[in-house]
Chain A
Amino acid sequence: MSKKYISTPYIIWMLLFIFAPLCLVVYFAFTDKNGSFTIENISRLSQYSTVFMRSIVLAAVATIFCLIFAYPVSYFLSRLRASRRKIMLMIIILPMWMNFLLRTYAWMNLLEKNGLINKFFGLFGLGPFDLIYTNGAVILGMVYNYLPFMIMPLYSTMVKIDHSLIEAAQDLGANTYNVLAKVLLPLSMPGITTGITMVFVPSCSTFIISKMLGGDTAFMIGDLIELQFLGNDYNPHLGSAMSLVLMVLVLLCMSITNGFADEDTEVSF
């Protein structure tokens, strides 16, 4: 039996549930209620450009924070002894086993005007601060929820970097900064690009986090799309156009990241 038959189930799955819906999204995006061709849905999107911008900026900021937090942690993990690594990794993954909504809801309770954090500050006569319904709260929610998706790919590339490479760099005169810039970063670039993809894409299109922690101030493209399908202004044609444009924008962002990474490494995705 030829090996390509093994992939048949997935190919059928892909055609039915990925390719066909994608065609439908494209179809809806370029038609009106009567089913005739139009580009009005796309052109109308310019009025939502601030929402698109905000989504991409918030997602990008959250991704950068994830990278900054995850990089040292992943390095630390990868240098641990194998037995301790498993336990530490488990501790990091553990929050992911809790329901996503519950985790975000917990943050709501913490950040609220009468929440735990403001109550704590209140003890010293400070505040209350406007913590919830800010861009900062949304970024916090994204970083908190998606951090493990950055740690995992970073960790798995770093664990393959032989410690003798770091020693070799030091031996050749590299101080800590040079070891990071000239050896660690280039060698962990595959993990960085995967991590960025895995955090940036869901952050960009999230609607729960922005709804719960951002309220009206951090209205994101995901919320907008949700409204078109589940809200009062039911309009699947506009919703599809939004999804399509978002997809193109995300692909564009990703290709920029990958292009940047390719300068240093031969590994591409």
Chain B
Amino acid sequence: MDNNIIVSLKDIVVDFDEETILNGLSLDIHDKEFVTLLGPSGCGKTTTLRIIGGFLSPKSGNVFFDGKEITHLPPYKRLVNTVFQKYALFSHLNVFENVAFGLRLQKLPDREIKSRVLEMLEIVGLRDFARRDTTTLSGGQQQRVAIARALVNHPKVLLLDEPLGALDLKLRKEMQTELKRIQQALDITFIYVTHDQEEALTMSDTVVVMKGGVIQQIGTPQDIYNEPVNAFVADFIGESNILDGIMVRDFLVEFSGVQFSCVDKGFAPNELVNVVIRPEDIEVVPAIQGRLSGVVKSVVFKGVHYEIIVEQGGFDWIIHSTQKQNVGELIGLNIGPEEIHIMKRMRD
């Protein structure tokens, strides 16, 4: 992957009715990358996408595309195309004409339009549906038409606004693989907006976690999952146990009334911190052998593992374990130094 920056946002501020949506957001997106903007609803991820698409002008800040400023360029002059949340297919046109829409506006010769549209329908697996009415298609097929309609224009960047939100789970998984395949085959940049962390981890090269109009963390899916920078990211990406702790000194943290050795350093002595531990990183042992011990409150079978809630000192631990435990039983918990993630205490 080369390091060319294709889209660059600088200090973007967006207000709606005196409510700040984006608060000085800056972001560089590299060429040919699959970038996901991830966050809860209202975090500003769709607004960011609309800024790049040109549907929204920022109150202040600049947008650059391939090194050129495009902050106030209207959408129809931008070399990006969008796949909209609810597909936004033209109901008065059939599948072929929907896909051909952008090419017809470019006034390309009919033969070229035909070959490019059919080629793109082939890629999304809808070659035989060219003459069909869009209203007769299933949700997944409409989605593919929307993708083909955007991609046929050979955009340098494709923007996708929660495109899989309306599909059922199985279809969503299929389309995730499909989208990744298309992105790699065409070798272009995808900027993908979702609130689904699993979707983000599955497809992305880079994940941008957002909250309240501010970027929390940018990194590979592995980085985001294994090394969340704060308790919000840890909580949003997968399930986590988040506890208040005290960083006694480098490599030693105290939480739940017990001191644990850890691998973090660089905090002030006795600084208040958040301690994040993933449910699958906790080892269940007989009560006497555990550093911590607690009573099993509930056990739920989740397929691959059991989700066990253990109460210990007023805190409910979530533990994922392949071994079944019995409700009401006293068990011990051990946590290795590598599994303890220390982060600065969140202010809210």
Contacts and interface: CB of A to CB of B under 8 A. Distances in A.
Interface of A: 162, 164-165, 167-175, 178, 182-183, 186-187, 264-266
A264 B94 CA distance: 12
A29 B81 CA distance: 63
Nearest to A264: B92
Chain B contact patch, size range: 20 to 34
Given A173-B102, A265-B92, 15 more contacts: A164-B84, A164-B86, A165-B90, A167-B55, A168-B82, A168-B149, A170-B55, A172-B81, A173-B105, A174-B105, A178-B105, A182-B101, A187-B90, A187-B92, A266-B92
A173 B84 contact: no
B186 to A, nearest CB: 17
Interface of B: 53-55, 74-76, 80-82, 84-86, 88-92, 101-102, 105-106, 149-150, 153
Q: Give the 6 A-B residue pairs with the shortest CB-CB distance, closest first.
A: A172-B102, A164-B88, A168-B88, A170-B75, A173-B105, A186-B92
A172 B153 contact: yes
13 contacts: A162-B86, A164-B85, A165-B88, A167-B84, A168-B84, A168-B149, A171-B75, A171-B80, A172-B76, A173-B153, A178-B76, A182-B101, A264-B92
B88 A162 contact: yes
A268 to B, nearest CB: 13
Given A162-B86, A172-B81, A173-B106, A167 B91 contact: no
A163 to B, nearest CB: 9
Contacts of B53: 167, 171
Contacts of A266: 92
B90 A183 contact: yes
Contact of A173 (B76, B85, B91): B76
B47 to A, nearest CB: 14
Contacts of A178: 76, 105
Nearest to B161: A164
A175 B84 CA distance: 18
Nearest to B81: A171
Contacts of A174: 76, 101, 105
A169 B75 CA distance: 9
A186 B53 CA distance: 25
Most chain B beta-carbon neighbours within 10 Å: one of A171, A173, A186, A187: A171
A171 B102 CA distance: 9
A174 B89 CA distance: 15
B79 to A, nearest CB: 10
